[in-house]
Structure 1
Amino acid sequence: MNIYAHFSSIIARHLAALVAAGELPAGLEGYGFTVEPPRDPSHGDLATNVAMVLAKPAGSNPRAIADKLAGLLRAEPDVTAVDVAGPGFINIRLRDDFIRARVPEILREGTDYGNSALGSGQKFNVEYVSANPTGPMHVGHCRGAVFGDALATLLVKAGYDVTREYYINDAGGQVDVLARSAFLRYREALGEDIGEIPQGFYPGDYLKDVGLALVAVFGRTIRAMDEAEWLPIVREFAIEAMMKMIRDDLLALGIKHDVFFSERSLHTDGRVQDALDALKAKGLIYTGVLEPPKGKTPEDWEPRPQTLFKATEFGDDVDRPVQKSDGSWTYFAGDMAYHYDKIQRGFSHMIDVFGADHGGYVKRMQAVVKALSGGEADLDVKIIQLVKLWKNGEPFKMSKRSGSFVTLRDVVDEVGKGVVRFIMLTRKNDAPLDFDFAKVTEQSRDNPVFYVQYAHARVMSVMRKAAEALPGVDLSDAALAGADLGRLIDGSEIALVKMLAYWPKLIESAAVAHEPHRVAFYLYDLASEFHGLWNKGNEDPSLRFLIDGDKDVTLARLALIRAVAVTVASGLAVLGVEPLDEMH
């Protein structure tokens, strides 16, 4: 049960009763209000702003509305106290038995605990990574890959129908550079001395394998061809080789996409023109001359007529060129067509995960999605800030098979997939992140992935000891769900259950905000609450999880800590991290 949604429905029912009784005016159903934990836990278990939200449309004083609702809420069987605070906040305190009842729910639901029907199966397209197919993925791609994948999983848990998509930038000049770089390595594989890699080519050793593969497939055949002949052959071959490398890198991180979409297909199939025609039909395309960009003096600027999209009508700062004066498409035109294709595939909700250098693209992309969909589709662009690698307080450089950057595979091989994924989500996406190889492997509460995994491992250790201490007793989650939870009476135990009860609410709020880092934060707080209870047991033996001679208390506490482990596992699944049963 999502207790916050549960009490939202109870409040809505009481509001309807007040309307029916003539104590409030009709028409208040569409105003959203929140039910959340109060900022100060001493104020109660739930807090709602419903009275302040409805005061203006109801034409009433918020305290007056709050007092009316408080009187009705006090009669609820699971409520022990209701207070009105400040301008009209309503604070609600719940019965301990109602709170304890969440534990068997968790044990019955397992890692499905927290699953929500909030999304109602709405289609979501999450596009992430989309690295140019010119080499292995670097550590910057790593953060965007983890973010996008965790966000997609979070949305699925919240009830959305999600497609994970990778946009292959295989239509620009960079893939021609890739082809020429691969051809150079092909010549090298044929035994030629190629000398220094020319400026502007891709220098990484990874292209040596591509050169060897070209020889294995084509022999010396393409060496005798003119560039116009060999370029498309090598380009196709090299792109496929790079995408295999990228897929392998992603698999090392536990990431699989549902769709790999080729930018080039938009051009070869005429879909860029289709998108332009769709905008023309809406009167949103014209020929004009743009103002000089910021930082350029008039002497540097050569005004020229271009085909422009009226982006300013949809919130952008300037209108955007889609076709140059020479008839070639702009990069934006391809993105425009790509998102038009998403709309035609039935996606009304889209998320693009962009690198830190793409901040200037946000408004134009949101503008064109609004224009092409007639305002029916929405696009959220998440900017992923940079990752800095450190070791022992110093910037850390690793082997660079790429020739110019630290690869994703280097980092995964150094510390493991689970550590990388968790740490990449310990900061909000638009904040820079420091990845310290020493700190992410140390065993302390300063290392969040260790601290969370340690909570799960500690529970599993207790369960192994319990199996030895209680031979023949069924300690399965199904059996523990029937334990006498009334034996959980310490305030720390009740506080831990309250935190567990927040998990379904956290899933929904994080999904709505498109912020998977909230899951990592929650897991750290939950682990902290659990470790705190463990430490209390060290100080006071009566609070230990295994109590000699008191089977009922032991089973109740085992049920509680298994609920912790289940919730941790549920959260780690969203992050794409396997829970550990033992720490080494």
Structure 2
Amino acid sequence: MNIFAEFSARVIKIVQALDLRTESGEPVDTARVAVELPRDVSHGDLATNAAMVLSKAVGENPRLLGERFAAQLAKDADVSEASVAGPGFVNIRLGDGFWQARLADMLATGTDYGRSTIGAGRKINVEYVSANPTGPMHVGHCRGAVVGDALSNLLAFAGSEVTKEYYINDAGAQIGVLAQSAFLRYREALGETIGEIPPGLYPGDYLVPVGRMLADTYGRELLDKPEDEAIALIADKTIDAMMDMIREDLAALNVHHDVFFSERTLHAENAKQIRSAISDLTLKGHVYKGKLPPPKGQKPEDWEDREQTLFRSTEVGDDIDRPLVKSDGAYTYFAADVAYLKDKYVRGFDQLVYILGADHGGYVKRLEALARAVTDGKVELTVLLCQLVRLLRAGEPVKMSKRSGEFITLRDVVDEVGRDAIRFMMLYRKNGEPLDFDFAKVTEQSKDNPVFYVQYASARCYSVFRQAKEQMGLERPDRATLAKDTALLTDAGEIQLIRKLAEYPRMIESAAVALEPHRVAFYLYDLASSFHAHWNRGTDNPDLRFVRVNEPTLTIARLGLVQAVSDVLTSGLAIVGADAPEELR
């Protein structure tokens, strides 16, 4: 149950029962009526703005209207108190029986608690990572990979049908550079002395195994072929090798895509898909022949001082019109974007989400404009930008450069600190804010390390059940047994913990709607903090401990609370992409 949605519905029923109407006699619009957490939790469990947002329409003083709502809410069997605060907010305090019943509901649902139907089967494509296949994944790719993957998990948990997609940038000049670089390593594997890698090529050692693979497969055969033929073959083999390495790197981070879409397929058959997509835009009146004015400041790569084929993107929300064909007749990179977006549209997606690096901020308006033109506004497109990650070691910056080959790979980081630490910490800041990632801090075992603190809460939950078995011979009870006597949980700390668990469904829905997976990490930390705080109270007061050897019925009820905490930690960590450990070593 989403208690906020439930009580919003109850408040709206009160509005209807009071027959509130506008001065013209129409029923009031309740769209803005909401139930939220009160600003001060000491005021109650919930608060509604109903009187505030309806008072003007019905011509009543908001505080007096609030008194009418409070009087009706006080009649609700689940409400122990309803009062008006400030200019008209109505604070609601719920009885212990309501929270005890919610715990029973949570136990019946298990790790599916919080799962929502708000997505209503909506088909969503989330494209993330999409790094050029010119080398291994480096830590700069890590944040987008985690944000995209966790967002996909979140949207699926909220009821959407999600496709995780990787766009392989395997066309363009960088692929020629990659093939030339691999050709050097091939010659090296055949025994040639190649010396220092020429400027402009990829010098990283990660191409050495590719060179050996080419030598083992072809011997000296490639040296006897025409250079363009040899380079084309090497490009194919090297891309395959790079993508195998990228998939392995992503798998180490627990990132798995459903679709790997090759840009080269768009250029196949004389760029058939690109031509078709541009033709569609032309028929809709979005393409014309014209000349772009010189841009202010630095000129973009696709600007040319000539008449050319342009996408009329300014009419659908972009800043400037976009070139589609270069002076040599080749299609621009943006033309491939047109065909790719059309391909997604044809596949039937209702919403498209792009996870891009902060350096791609200039792509946001053009992609949004393109979606409006290609889909006639039928498909929602959202671009999420991930700000830079500053990699630190004990507070000192770690420098990296993909071009020089002297960079920290994603696999290096996974091997050193573990995937769970990376995934949680990459979500422990909103994607639009810069993030510091310090190797030392993410491995320390303290409250200041969020992933440790959350996973420690999971391990403590399991330890409670081990303790019950050791001290009482109590095997783990089934869920029905755990939920049988929740009415025994009357301590303020126990009720507060149930309240925190009850926030989970609403958090899931709001995070999914806002496309903000970091909210899951924040919530898990808060839940862990509440659980640890209650644990510590039991350390000071034996009566509050989860296991009471001489009170088996109370112990089982408290084990039910522990099980619910464990379920939500397991569920939330699965969305993050991390494990909920039974013990920490």
TM range (shorter): over 0.9
User: How is 1:46-195 mapped onto 2 (pairs within 5 angstroms)?
Assistant: 46-55=46-55, 62-63=62-63, 65-195=65-195
User: How is 1:5-404 mapped onto 2 (pairs within 5 angstroms)?
Assistant: 5-19=5-19, 25-26=25-26, 28=28, 31-55=31-55, 62-63=62-63, 65-269=65-269, 270-296=272-298, 303-396=305-398, 403-404=405-406
- Give 3-state SS (helix, strand or coil) of 1:571's partner: helix
Q: Which residue of 2 aligns with 1:408?
A: 410
Deviation at 1:386, TM superposition (A): 1.2
Q: Which residue of 1 aligns with 2:490?
A: 489
Tell me which moved more, 536-545 or 526-535: 536-545
Deviation at 1:87, TM superposition (A): 3.5
Is 1:571 the counterpart of 2:572? The answer is yes
Q: Does the aligned pair in 2 maintain the 1:305–1:325 contact within 8 Å?
A: no
Deviation at 1:423, TM superposition (A): 1.0
- Give 3-state SS (helix, strand or coil) of 1:167's partner: strand
For residues 443-481 of structure 1, give each alpha carbon's deviation from its aligned partner in whole angstroms, at most 9, with x where no partner exists. Answer: 100000010011111111111010122225553334212
For residues 200-247 of structure 1, give each alpha carbon's deviation from its aligned partner in whole angstroms, at most 9, with x where no partner exists. Answer: 111111111111111222222111122221121111111111111111
Separation in structure 2 between the aligned mates of residue 197 and residue 276 of structure 1, nearest angstrom = 40
- Give 3-state SS (helix, strand or coil) of 2:260's partner: strand
Q: Does the aligned pair in 2 maintain the 1:500–1:564 contact within 8 Å?
A: yes
Residues 58 and 230 of structure 1: CA distance in aligned 2, closer, same or farther (over 3 Å)? farther
Q: Which residue of 1 aligns with 2:510?
A: 509
Is 1:464 the counterpart of 2:466? The answer is yes
Residues 160 and 29 of structure 1: CA distance in aligned 2, closer, same or farther (over 3 Å)? farther
For residues 129-152 of structure 1, give each alpha carbon's deviation from its aligned partner in whole angstroms, at most 9, with x where no partner exists. Answer: 101011100001111111100000
For residues 414-460 of structure 1, give each alpha carbon's deviation from its aligned partner in whole angstroms, at most 9, with x where no partner exists. Answer: 11111111111111111111111111111100000010011111111
Q: Does the aligned pair in 2 maintain the 1:150–1:575 contact within 8 Å?
A: yes
Separation in structure 1 between the aligned mates of residue 282 and residue 21 of structure 2, nearest angstrom = 55
Q: Percent identity?
A: 57
Separation in structure 1 between the aligned mates of residue 159 and residue 370 of structure 2, nearest angstrom = 27
Q: Which residue of 2 aligns with 1:442?
A: 444
Deviation at 1:16, TM superposition (A): 3.3
- Give 3-state SS (helix, strand or coil) of 1:198's partner: coil
Separation in structure 2 between the aligned mates of residue 167 and residue 573 of structure 1, nearest angstrom = 25
Q: CA RMSD in A?
A: 2.2
- Give 3-state SS (helix, strand or coil) of 1:101's partner: helix
- Normalised by the length of structure 2, the TM-score is 0.94
Deviation at 1:514, TM superposition (A): 0.6
Deviation at 1:72, TM superposition (A): 2.7
Stretches of structure 1 that go unaligned for 5 or more consecutive residues are: none
How many residues are paired up? 580
Q: Match for 1:329: what amino acid?
A: Y
Q: Does the aligned pair in 2 maintain the 1:136–1:402 contact within 8 Å?
A: no
Separation in structure 2 between the aligned mates of residue 323 and residue 401 of structure 1, nearest angstrom = 29
Residues 390 and 278 of structure 1: CA distance in aligned 2, closer, same or farther (over 3 Å)? same
Residues 474 and 171 of structure 1: CA distance in aligned 2, closer, same or farther (over 3 Å)? closer
Residues 472 and 424 of structure 1: CA distance in aligned 2, closer, same or farther (over 3 Å)? closer
- Give 3-state SS (helix, strand or coil) of 2:477's partner: coil
For residues 59-82 of structure 1, give each alpha carbon's deviation from its aligned partner in whole angstroms, at most 9, with x where no partner exists. Answer: 665445544433332222111222
- Give 3-state SS (helix, strand or coil) of 1:306's partner: strand
Q: Does the aligned pair in 2 maintain the 1:115–1:504 contact within 8 Å?
A: yes
Separation in structure 2 between the aligned mates of residue 560 and residue 445 of structure 1, nearest angstrom = 22
Separation in structure 2 between the aligned mates of residue 13 and residue 87 of structure 1, nearest angstrom = 22
- Give 3-state SS (helix, strand or coil) of 1:431's partner: coil
Q: Match for 2:508: what amino acid?
A: I
Residues 229 and 60 of structure 1: CA distance in aligned 2, closer, same or farther (over 3 Å)? farther
Is 1:518 the counterpart of 2:516? The answer is no
Tell me which moved more, 535-544 or 18-27: 18-27
Q: Which residue of 2 aligns with 1:422?
A: 424
Tell me which moved more, 100-109 or 442-451: 100-109
Residues 114 and 308 of structure 1: CA distance in aligned 2, closer, same or farther (over 3 Å)? same
- Give 3-state SS (helix, strand or coil) of 1:124's partner: strand
Q: Match for 1:49: what amino acid?
A: N
Deviation at 1:55, TM superposition (A): 4.7
For residues 33-78 of structure 1, give each alpha carbon's deviation from its aligned partner in whole angstroms, at most 9, with x where no partner exists. Answer: 3322112111211122234444566566544554443333222211
Q: Does the aligned pair in 1 maintain the 2:22–2:28 contact within 8 Å?
A: no
- Give 3-state SS (helix, strand or coil) of 2:361's partner: helix
For residues 157-186 of structure 1, give each alpha carbon's deviation from its aligned partner in whole angstroms, at most 9, with x where no partner exists. Answer: 000000000001111111111111111111
Residues 285 and 57 of structure 1: CA distance in aligned 2, closer, same or farther (over 3 Å)? farther
Residues 17 and 426 of structure 1: CA distance in aligned 2, closer, same or farther (over 3 Å)? same
Deviation at 1:559, TM superposition (A): 1.3
Q: Does the aligned pair in 1 maintain the 2:21–2:28 contact within 8 Å?
A: no
Stretches of structure 2 that go unaligned for 5 or more consecutive residues are: none
Is 1:455 the counterpart of 2:451? The answer is no
Separation in structure 2 between the aligned mates of residue 473 and residue 583 of structure 1, nearest angstrom = 22
Deviation at 1:505, TM superposition (A): 0.4
- Give 3-state SS (helix, strand or coil) of 1:579's partner: coil
Separation in structure 2 between the aligned mates of residue 360 and residue 61 of structure 1, nearest angstrom = 49
Q: Match for 1:294: what amino acid?
A: K
- Give 3-state SS (helix, strand or coil) of 1:556's partner: helix
Q: Does the aligned pair in 1 maintain the 2:352–2:381 contact within 8 Å?
A: yes
Q: Does the aligned pair in 1 maintain the 2:22–2:58 contact within 8 Å?
A: no
Q: Does the aligned pair in 2 maintain the 1:151–1:515 contact within 8 Å?
A: yes
Residues 24 and 108 of structure 1: CA distance in aligned 2, closer, same or farther (over 3 Å)? farther
Separation in structure 2 between the aligned mates of residue 184 and residue 413 of structure 1, nearest angstrom = 30
Separation in structure 1 between the aligned mates of residue 27 and residue 241 of structure 2, nearest angstrom = 61
Q: Which residue of 2 aligns with 1:527?
A: 528
Separation in structure 2 between the aligned mates of residue 91 and residue 177 of structure 1, nearest angstrom = 65
- Give 3-state SS (helix, strand or coil) of 1:307's partner: strand
Residues 420 and 22 of structure 1: CA distance in aligned 2, closer, same or farther (over 3 Å)? closer
Deviation at 1:279, TM superposition (A): 1.5
Deviation at 1:84, TM superposition (A): 2.8
Separation in structure 1 between the aligned mates of residue 406 and residue 333 of structure 2, nearest angstrom = 25
Residues 229 and 420 of structure 1: CA distance in aligned 2, closer, same or farther (over 3 Å)? same
- Give 3-state SS (helix, strand or coil) of 1:197's partner: coil
Tell me which moved more, 304-313 or 516-525: 304-313
